[in-house]
Amino acid sequence: MNAMDSAQAHFAGAPAHRPRIAPVAAGADSRPLWSVMIPTHNCAKYLGETLRSVLAQAPDPGRMQIEVVDDCSTRDDPESVVREVGRGRVSFYRQPQNVGHTGNFATCLQRARGLWVHQLHGDDYVRDGFYAKMEAAFTSDPAIGAAFCRTIFADESGHWTGISKLQREESGLLPNPAEKLATRQCIQTPAIVVKREVYERLGGFDHRLSWTEDWEMWVRVAVNYPIWFEPEPLAVYRSHGHSSTSQKMLTGENVRDIGRCLSIFGEYFAAPSRHRILAGARRYYATQCVRKHARNLLLAGHPEAARKQVIEALKLSRGSSVLREVLFFFWLRLRVAARGR
């Protein structure tokens, strides 16, 4: 049984940890091509920029549904931003109680009516041309399940801090997408568009995961469908101190969740390649968590959070590259402690 056959057998049912996404009712009137679903939770200060980035390139309402789905925010008022910026063009739905980010994602997918779903976090945004390029991808190859572009990374103030790697030089199908994506997470959520029928078949984001649910989803899609890559950077992913990512790094939950995600990936690949793919991914992410996250946390004055990154990274892998980074980390910690005396 090859990886594709194994995955199709694995996805034959609808497990409880993945919400079922029911098809849009047959005969639904004026079904749009696009659903831009914007999950929010206490990030209204960024939501105006998110909405303006969509509205600047949005086709008429008959072709694009735009809706903000708020997970019962308590520190701000996203509905007022929707009224002010959306001016009736953007719908708003508020959860009656907080359901958590994966639960809110499920609501986004269930409320989406379009053929193609773009889930755009309320603190991220897209650049001009995003929707035109993504539509061109789905039109040129109807067999694809999803299309994504490169991502620009930005800080809390919107200043660009980096860009995701180039996967191929020209627009087109991503080669060997399942293995490539399982080895490295190279898709940020604002950069990808997925056919709604793909979610209907494979289910929504996995509730067992707390930080890597998007990574698992993109690999699940890639195991079952061709994936299109657009080299132009047309999506912007924002990092800030109140984000879910930042909070999970303080506890080491980000590394623990990588381990859970990789265990799920083990179900998607046949034995000959499974060990190679997972061992490489474990080694790579353990190395990165020490080299990048632990060092940055230490230098930012969070030594306990840095220590947790190291401990969890060693549980993930004890490859030679990981051990080298751990030794350097402890040397750096001694230097930082010496300066503080």
**Residues 129, 56: Cα–Cα separation, whole Å:** 10
Q: What are 43-54's pLDDT values in tens digits?
A: 999 999 999 999
Q: Inform me whether the pLDDT recorded for 14 exceeds 60.
A: no
Q: Inform me whether the pLDDT recorded for 11 exceeds 90.
A: no
Q: Give the predicted TM-score (pTM) of the model.
A: 0.92
* Amino acid, res. 54: V
Mean pLDDT across the stretch 296-315? Answer: 96
Q: Which helix (H) or strand (E) holds 232?
A: strand 227-238
Percent of the chain scored above 90 by pLDDT?
89
Q: Inform me whether the pLDDT recorded for 1 exceeds 90.
A: no
- Across 3-12, 62-71, 161-170, 221-230, least confident range: 3-12
* Amino acid, res. 67: E
Q: What are 226-280's pLDDT values in tens digits?
A: 999 999 999 999 987 666 667 789 999 999 999 999 999 999 999 889 999 999 9
Average pLDDT score over the chain: 93
Q: Which CATH class is domain 3-238?
A: alpha beta
Alpha helices in the chain (DSSP H): 3-10, 44-55, 78-81, 100-111, 130-140, 177-183, 196-202, 213-224, 244-251, 253-265, 271-288, 295-299, 303-316, 320-340
Are 13 and 281 in contact by the 8 Å Cβ rule? The answer is: no
Domains of the chain: which residue ranges?
3-238, 246-340
Q: Specify the pLDDT at position 240.
A: 75
Give the model's confidence band at 117: pLDDT under 50 very low, under 70 low, under 90 confident, else very high.
very high
Q: Specify the pLDDT at position 9.
A: 42
* Amino acid, res. 87: R
Are 125 and 236 in contact by the 8 Å Cβ rule? The answer is: yes
**Residues 314, 286: Cα–Cα separation, whole Å:** 7
Q: Inform me whether the pLDDT recorded for 4 exceeds 80.
A: no
Mean pLDDT across the stretch 180-185? Answer: 96
**Residues 128, 159: Cα–Cα separation, whole Å:** 17
Q: Inform me whether the pLDDT recorded for 7 exceeds 70.
A: no
Question: What contacts 61, CB < 8 A, 6 or more positions away?
Answer: 32, 89
Percent of the chain scored above 70 by pLDDT?
93
- Please tell me which residue, 216 or 13, carries the higher pLDDT value: 216
Question: What contacts 31, CB < 8 A, 6 or more positions away?
Answer: 24, 113, 114, 115
Longest CA span, the chain: 72
Q: Specify the pLDDT at position 272.
A: 86
Mean pLDDT across the stretch 139-144? Answer: 97
Q: Specify the pLDDT at position 25.
A: 87
- Kindly give the interhelix angle for 244-251 and 303-316, rounded to the nearest 10 degrees: 80
Q: Inform me whether the pLDDT recorded for 10 exceeds 90.
A: no
